[in-house]
Amino acid sequence: MKLFIVFAFLLCSALVSFRTTEHAILNASDSLRYPEEKHFKNLRQLTFGGDNAEAYWSFDSKMVSFQSNNKNWGLKCDQVFYMKTEGTDLSGGMKPALISTGFGRTTCSFFLPGNKTILYASTHLGGNDCPAEPERKPGGKYLWPVYDSYDIFVADLNGKMIKQLTNSPGYDAEATVSPKKDKIVFTSTRNGDLDLYVMDIDGKNVKQITNELGYDGGAFFSPDGKKIVFRASRFKTEDQKKEYLDYLKQGLVAPTAMEIFICNANGTGLKQITSLGKANWAPFYHPAGKKIIFSSNHKGTRGFEFNLYMINEDGTGLEQITYDKVFDSFPMFSPDGKKFIFSSNRNNGGTHDTNLFIADWVD
């Protein structure tokens, strides 16, 4: 589901025509990196075409799972793939290994301990076709679909379905795994709202950990597994609450006003980290466990201008990390802390393509 925000803010297609000029100012020795991007070294592109996002590392820091809708791979909507980050070249059109069934729509994949299985959310039990996307009305709000046919599954690296982890009515998706390898956090509407839940790695002992009205999602554990960082929408007026609930009844959510929150892994100690306005999302902990990197459009003059920022866990020390003019998001550090992966519209030849980029991280 998280990938859908890409489309909303890229519909103004004429605005990507600046790409040729942009390349002229890039550092010649590292042509995909902007000169201001001091935390990146050896930046390189992993995918070439379509929308590729939510690339999440295996525990051994050698592979990533991700979702793509690349039409050249015969896809009509997002499916889940995996690949090794070294020795894999997709620039010639090669298709990586498909993990999902190829039916329905999928999202939010993540390696399980052992690096031989991957969990992901899929709508395939609700039908073989891609579910309909919300109609984009001129001047209307951008909306995410919250498909009630999403459930969370586990497959091996050959795509063989091993287990279904959730089967409650409603939306179950956005699952990620603790670095301690014992817990999974995910978002569900099983109580009528979009809240966070944790469960054991085998799907047992499900526990709700957030309970305030609003969308809680995109959660990740801290490196020590003791905390969880996530995006959330909260409301200051009754009209805002009513709008949220009205959309949710239709299986929709408007993701244009979100901030970053943290809590303990059991749900206690809830704290808001950002108060920047607009859309702040896709948070992930820095390997040291004291900072959080996330995507935000708070500096953009147009809604689709997202860059990566890093902030201290106490909400101080905001630092801009990327300097693209369209879209950078879905950041993740490798478990060994050496590599960094994210999605970007850079180097897309003036298209709408969102590709995966990997770099050595420099503190």
- With beta carbons less than 8 A apart as the criterion, state whether 32 and 346 touch: yes
Which tens digits make up the pLDDT trace of 147-200? 999 999 999 999 999 999 999 999 999 999 999 999 999 999 999 999 999 999
DSSP annotation of 30 reads S
Give every CB contact of residue 239 below 8 A, 6+ residues apart in sequence. Answer: none
CA distances from 271 to 187, 264, 268, 314, 315 (A): 18, 9, 9, 9, 10
CA distances from 119 to 106, 130, 202 (A): 11, 19, 11
Which tens digits make up the pLDDT trace of 296-335? 999 998 878 999 999 999 999 999 999 999 999 999 999 9
- Given its phi and psi angles, is residue 130 left (phi above 0), alpha (psi -120 to 50 degrees) or beta? beta
How many domains does the chain contain in total? 1
CA distances from 311 to 36, 258, 300 (A): 17, 16, 18
Count of other CB atoms within 10 angstroms of residue 313: 19
Sheet of 227-232, strands arranged across: 216-221, 227-232, 259-264, 271-272
Task: Determine the 3-state secondary structure of 23 from DSSP.
Answer: helix
Side chain identity at 99, as an amino acid letter?
A: I
Which tens digits make up the pLDDT trace of 239-272? 999 999 999 999 999 999 999 999 999 999 999 9
Count of other CB atoms within 10 angstroms of residue 177: 21
Rounded-to-integer distance, Cα 321 and Cα 326, Å: 14
pTM of the model: 0.92
Rounded-to-integer distance, Cα 126 and Cα 11, Å: 28
- With beta carbons less than 8 A apart as the criterion, state whether 198 and 182 touch: no
Span 214-228, average pLDDT: 98
Structure tokens at 63: 């592979």
CA dihedral 339, 340, 346, 348 (to 10 degrees): 70
CATH number of the domain where residue 313 is located:
2.120.10.30
**How many angstroms separate the first and last alpha carbons of the chain?**
31
Structure tokens at 123: 């709508």
Nearest to 269 by CA among 233, 230, 227, 231: 227
Span 3-20, average pLDDT: 40
Sheet of 97-98, strands arranged across: 52-57, 63-68, 79-84, 97-98
- With beta carbons less than 8 A apart as the criterion, state whether 2 and 53 touch: yes
- The string over 219-240, giving b where at least 16 C-beta atoms fall within 10 Å of a residue's C-beta and e elsewhere, is bbbbbebebbbbbbbbbeeeeb
- Given its phi and psi angles, is residue 230 left (phi above 0), alpha (psi -120 to 50 degrees) or beta? beta
Residue 265's pLDDT is what?
98
- Give yes or no for residue 121 having a pLDDT over 60: yes
Task: Determine the 3-state secondary structure of 118 from DSSP.
Answer: strand
Span 217-230, average pLDDT: 98
Structure tokens at 276: 């920047």
Owning domain of residue 339: 4-361
**% of the chain with per-residue pLDDT over 70:** 91
